[in-house]
Structure 1
Amino acid sequence: MESVNRSGALPRGGAEEVARVARAMLSELDDVLQTIASRVWQTVPGYSQFLPDRQELTARIRESVLNVVTCLLEWREPSPGELARSAGTGERRALQGVSSIAMIQSFRTAERVLLEELQGWCNRMQVRTATARACRAALLRDLDSLERSMLDAYTHLQIQIEADRRLSEPRLFRRLAAGVPIDTTELEELAIAIGVADPDRTEFVTAAVRLWPAPDGTPIDRVTADQVRHRVVAELARSLGSTALSGVVEETGQPVVLVAVPWDAEPEALMLDLARALAPISECSITAGIGDRCTGLATLGTSCRQALAAAGVAGDPGEMHLYSDTLLEVMVRRESALARQLVDRYLGDLSGELLVTLRTHLDQRLSLRATAAVLGVHKNTVSYRLRRVEELSGLDLRRPRDLSRLVVALEASEQLSAGQPAGQQP
């Protein structure tokens, strides 16, 4: 059965009145279509951005409006074929990237215009109130049926698209991050996923967000990591206006969210947007790193590994590091054995009090007065402790080369005390 008849829903003689109104509306269909299309194109965000031209929008509106008015003329509900065509429009919009909210807004616009048109003809033709009321209700029900068919098809296809993207994008991105080559076809898939027209010349910056267990020791599972990934990507897309490439990898037993965005500014300019994206995340402790800018999707692997290295630098929760600012820290993290040798060689004989004094002295730019003020001791006490540091380490704090050795050893000590196994230098 192609349609459902609505006989019995009208008062006696109402079918003839409805048919007259429907024929009148069909006679001015072009004017109604232009009104609806203009309002949708000008007021509903999304259509002018994603549709190739306004003619395509007008053609789809014509199809829906003609369906509804024809249903009134024949006093029946939309047929399966008409609902299928509406579903086809929903699938088309999903592929074009038009949002479901935009589609709902366009239907509401069409609904208002059609109701105005219907009421005007009912008034001019002196249609009885009961008939006009039944006609209005039928029009709304038919529009709802077409809209529901369209949105169901849209949602179904959108789920498939997202599933395909989740399966391919993170997988390929993980391979890039690991330095595994991917072929040209796969690079093109990634470019399509993030809307990059020129994957060979577009510049990118990669950020790594390392997720640490909560204070109660509860580990971060993969589901939570993916939730964080989606939230970060959504926030960056909102603030930057571009889609980010993303994935989750594991480093030293902890999940790390990797995000790459098209970016033609300096890497540090991304820090504010990344901090804003991370601000609402409270279920885990986070440190982040940002790699150097690279050109072309094929070179993303290097930026990924740089971001991972920067995110692994010891620091307080919430800290964000640029790779270019953490070269020393990355260097001492290359091998835990080397870090341990540095600590044993230069710091092994220093007591806790001497280490605190040395760190404070370095933080205070080698000022005895400032060091004493921070520690709450006399300058002579600081001088004595620093002489002991020199005696026990065999280094001279007045020689830049010896001073640099202590700085590197202290950095190695911090990395080791943070309990972070050494990673690979990018």
Structure 2
Amino acid sequence: MAHRKPGLSAAAAAIAARCEPQVNELARRLAGEVFDQLHGYADLPGDVKDVEIAATVRHALRLFLRGAVAGSRQDALEHFQERAAQRAEEGMPLHLLLRTYTLGARELWGALRKAAGPDEQEALAELAAELFLAADRVVGAVAESYLDEQAALAAEQHEHRRSRAQAVLEGRPVTGGPVPDVPVLVLCLRFEDAAVPDGESPSLVAVRRLVRRVQAVLDRACGTEVLAVLDGRGGHAVVPGASEPPGRIGELLHEATGTPVRLAAAVATRLAGIPRAARLTADVVRIAAARGARPGVHRLDDVLLEYHLSRPSEGSARIAARLDPLAARPELVETLRTHLEQRQDRRATARLLSLHPNSVDNRLARIQELTGLDLLDPRDVALALAALLLREAGPAVRE
């Protein structure tokens, strides 16, 4: 004899038993005229509505009614979870899917009320409580499974898009998608207050959120699918068919990320030229930051002299070494960088660094004392600028 759950009476089981023969008729009506009232349901394929959804409705009705007859709670949610994942893969909206379950519960409640006699209201109330509980459990499981599948699909699509972008930027053949139309605009992005500071473990949630926001801004501003390879510090993006960055792109990215963003742009007229454009834009961003330029959109023409000075050569290591005496004094390096960017205007330098002009003078004197560079001599100014740029390039200049 089946174990009856405490509180579920024989009278409640009897009402459920009277409804069980109506399952097929109820399922047909639900999958047809009842669900047809839902916006978007009529657009679903016929086999989905008439076969798969109808079968799920029959399963749900029988599961509840037989559980009520047996006086035991049914925990078999796997069928609903599998169907929810399938609906997510097919693109059925979640609100539409969930409403089929809530409408199904409403129609079943109507059938239970009709089956109950005037003296069975207490038993009907028991069934109502069980129905609310069952609907809550099923809807929760369906929503969770749907969202899990949707997240997995989104991650798969993102990875596919990222792989295409990586191939384009590296000059490898693009598989699994269309080749971008040329010319393309290649962008290099650098977030000034990085979501993942150097030396720290990344927060995957923070990085993914940042990347999603940046990708959304790029797609919306450019009006097309932008192929991008991004992380918490920045990255590259390829905009098919474009030759100029969208207006206000720096501001839009700043608003989305909450941090100033540096961008460099270059046009590639051939697919084979995209890797070179990517390297060039990365150099332009690095050089603009090294010379102290404010965040925004940078072009090669903006840093033409600095770009030339930063090219590694036989003398690069010696030039970079001129600033070695400042290695333990980052405030002096920042003062030098700002002073050169401000065309050696001591008051402008003081204002940007929140210092008194006399403090700027003292720091400049200390820089000259430590390095031997006379910042009033045009040749030494050029040497100091080249040293800053080459040091920013990293160890490669010392090899």
Structure 2 length as normaliser, TM-score? 0.60
Instruction: Describe the shift of the 1:235–1:131 C-alpha distance in structure 2 as closer, same or farther (beyond 3 A).
Output: farther
Seen in structure 2, the aligned counterparts of structure 1 residues 118 and 161 have a Cα distance that, compared at 3 Å, is closer
Question: Following superposition of structure 1 onto structure 2, how do residues 201-280 of structure 1 map, counting pairs within 5 Å?
Answer: 201=181, 205-212=185-192, 219=198, 221=200, 223=202, 227-228=206-207, 230-237=209-216, 240=219, 244-247=226-229, 256-260=233-237, 262-269=239-246, 272-273=248-249, 275-280=251-256
- In 1, distance between residues paired with 2:19 and 2:82? 29
Q: Which residue of 1 aligns with 2:66?
A: 74
Equivalent residue of 1:292, what SS? strand
Comparing 17-26 and 235-244, the one that deviates more: 235-244
Cα deviations by residue, 1:104-125 (Å, 9 ceiling, x for unpaired): x335412432243234334444
Alpha-carbon separation, structure 2, partners of 1:85 and 1:226:
31
Shift, 1:308, TM fit? 1.7
**Contact preservation (8 Å) 2:250, 2:297:** no
Confirm or deny: 8 A CA contact 2:23 2:62 kept in the other structure: no
* Cross-structure match for 1:305: 279
Q: Secondary structure at the match of 1:92?
A: helix
What stretches of structure 1 of length at least 5 have no aligned partner? Answer: 192-197, 250-254, 344-351, 362-391, 394-405
Per-residue CA deviation, residues 322-367 of structure 1 (Å, 9 max, x unaligned), is: 5465472574255155998xx9xxxxxxxx9xx98x9599xxxxxx
Say if 1:159 and 1:327 are closer, same or farther in 2 by CA, change over 3 A: same
Contact between 1:208 and 1:256, CA under 8 Å: does it hold in 2? no
Would you say the 8 A contact 2:226–2:238 is kept in 1?
yes
Aligned residues of 1:289 and 1:310 also touching (Cα < 8 A) = yes
Map of 2:83 onto structure 1? 89
- Counterparts of 2:88 and 2:175, CA distance in 1: 20
Q: Which amino acid in 2 is paired with 1:319?
A: P
Corresponding residue of 2:393: 421
Counterpart Cα distance in 2 of 1:153 and 1:168: 23
- 331-340 or 59-68, larger mean C-alpha shift: 331-340
Deviations 1:292-346 (A, max 9, x none): 26676x7643443343233223255762225465472574255155998xx9xxx
Cα 1:23–1:281, aligned 2, differ >3 Å: closer, same or farther? same
Residue 223 of structure 1 aligns to a residue in which SS?
Answer: coil
1:27 aligns with: 25
Change (3 A) 1:239 1:56: farther
Q: Deviations along 1:73-103, whole A, 9 cap, x unmatched?
A: 32355574xx3332322433454566xxx53
Which of the numbers 11, 14, 21 marks the counterpart of 2:9?
Answer: 11
Residues 156 and 312 (structure 1 numbering): CA distance in 2 closer, same or farther, change over 3 Å?
same
In structure 2, the residue matched to 1:36 is 35
Output the CA distance in 1 between the equivalents of 2:205 and 2:225. 16
Overall identity of the aligned pairs, in %: 11
Aligned to 2:104: 114
Unaligned regions of 5+ residues in structure 2, if any?
320-335, 346-376
Shift of 1:69: 1.0
Distance 2:67 2:39 in 1: 28
Cα deviations by residue, 1:267-287 (Å, 9 ceiling, x for unpaired): 321x534532333545x7642
Alignment CA distance shift 1:173-1:276 (3 Å): same
Cα offset, 1:20, TM superposition: 3.0
Distance 1:272 1:213, change over 3 A: closer
Q: Is the 8 A contact 1:68 1:139 kept in 2?
A: no
User: What residue identity is the alignment partner of 1:310?
Assistant: V
1:289 to 258, 264, 281: 264
1:371 alignment counterpart: none
Name the aligned partner's letter for residue 260 of structure 1: A
Contact preservation (8 Å) 2:187, 2:278 = yes
Structure 2 Cα separation of the partners of residues 69 and 290 of structure 1: 60
Distance verdict in 2 for CA 1:226–1:125, change over 3 Å:
closer
Match of 1:321 among 283, 289, 297: 297
Q: CA deviation at 1:231?
A: 1.2
User: Separation in 2 of the partners of 1:58 and 1:292?
Assistant: 53
Classify 1:53/1:159 alpha carbon distance in 2 versus 1 (closer, same or farther; 3 Å). Answer: same
RMSD over aligned Cα, in angstroms?
5.0
CA deviation profile, 1:150-205 (whole Å, cap 9, x unmatched) = 4555566566667767877667755654x3x434xxx224x3xxxxxx23548754
